[in-house]
Structure 1
Amino acid sequence: MTSPTTDHVERLARLLREDLAAAGFAVPHGLALELVAHQFGSRDWTVLAAALGRTAPASGPGVPVLRVMSVPTALPFYVDYLGFTLDWEHRFEPGLPLYVQVSRAGTVLHLSEHHGDGSPHGVVWIPVTDVYALHAELRAKPDAPLRPGVAADAPGGPTLEVIDPYGNVLRFAQAAD
């Protein structure tokens, strides 16, 4: 037998849920994934997915995961104020935590309501080509939640620092000349 893939394991979890449902047992998708992972000898789904290569990017930079308590509360800050775009959102099933991706000009962030995904007050350093243009853009927003300044003498170059509703710090920095 060839090595399983994450798609194969997810299909097995779906089949397990269907078979259990037919027998009168409702099982959430997350629990089905955990049970199948145990059958493959893994501690849990996360460990198995990592071993199968799901969590390792094929190429490219890593993506910061910022912990937020409520995506609906965080999104106006990221989308309306900072100008990010909501790329996608994911829930394992209704009522479970939400996980979303936002992006802007090559910067990609994941916002997660999942308890185990980091903790509030994370810091992300984001390179920008013109921190002063970003500063002017943010200052021009009506009803802006913050009025940050630019620290011209910050390490790494002029930096604009904003803090999201959950204490995560985003440092937009322009490389010093």
Structure 2
Amino acid sequence: MKEQAIPILRVADAAVSVRWYTRLGFAQEWEHRFEPGFPAFVDIARGDVHLFLSEHTGDATPDTLVYLRVADVDAVAREFGLPVEEAPWAREVHLTDPDGNRLRVGTAREE
């Protein structure tokens, strides 16, 4: 088993969030509910990168910041209609999901 850290993001409506994260290249892997009508807990993945989206109120707080390193930040910038910012360590865009979670998406600079 490969070890990894998976951030958990609090969301109000997992289905809405899954659609938004699809624009970033994520796809839903699975969804769990203890019973029908209960809050959803969803795993989304972009290659080997996973995020958990949780409707459970105690799992996380809105306004979390996640850094996502990608191969092509320009494609993400085009998808969201944003300019790419130049930082000494990477080229980046800053996004906010429908629930107020913040994502800094960047491509590392070539050395």
TM-score (norm 2): 0.88
- Quick one: which of 83, 90, 101 aligns to 1:149? 83
Deviation (angstroms), 1:133: 3.1
Residue 98 of structure 2 corresponds to 165
Computed over aligned residues only, the root mean square deviation of the Cα atoms, in angstroms, reads: 1.6
1: CA distance, partners of 2:21 / 2:72: 19
2:47 matched to 1:114?
A: no
Residue 10 of structure 1 corresponds to none
1:41-120 equivalences in 2 (<5 Å): 59-79=2-22, 81-120=23-62
2: CA distance, partners of 1:66 / 1:120: 7
2:110 matched to 1:174?
A: no
Q: Work out whether residues 65 and 118 of structure 1, in 8 Å CA contact, stay in contact via their aligned partners in 2.
A: yes
**Which one scores higher on RCO, CA 8 angstroms, separation ≥ 6?**
2
Counterpart code for 1:75? V
Number of residues of Structure 1 aligned to a counterpart in Structure 2: 110
Q: Work out whether residues 156 and 173 of structure 1, in 8 Å CA contact, stay in contact via their aligned partners in 2.
A: no
Q: Work out whether residues 160 and 173 of structure 1, in 8 Å CA contact, stay in contact via their aligned partners in 2.
A: yes
2: CA distance, partners of 1:60 / 1:120: 26
SS of residue in 1 equivalent to 2:90: coil
Deviation (angstroms), 1:60: 1.9
Counterpart code for 2:37? G
Which protein has the bigger strand share? 2
After superposing on structure 2, the runs of 4+ consecutive aligned residues of structure 1 that deviate more than 4 Å are none
TM-score (norm 1): 0.57
Which protein has the bigger helix share? 1
Counterpart code for 1:162? L
SS of residue in 2 equivalent to 1:148: coil
List runs of 5+ in structure 1 lacking aligned partners: 1-57, 139-145
Deviation (angstroms), 1:89: 0.2
SS of residue in 1 equivalent to 2:77: helix
Deviation (angstroms), 1:170: 1.4
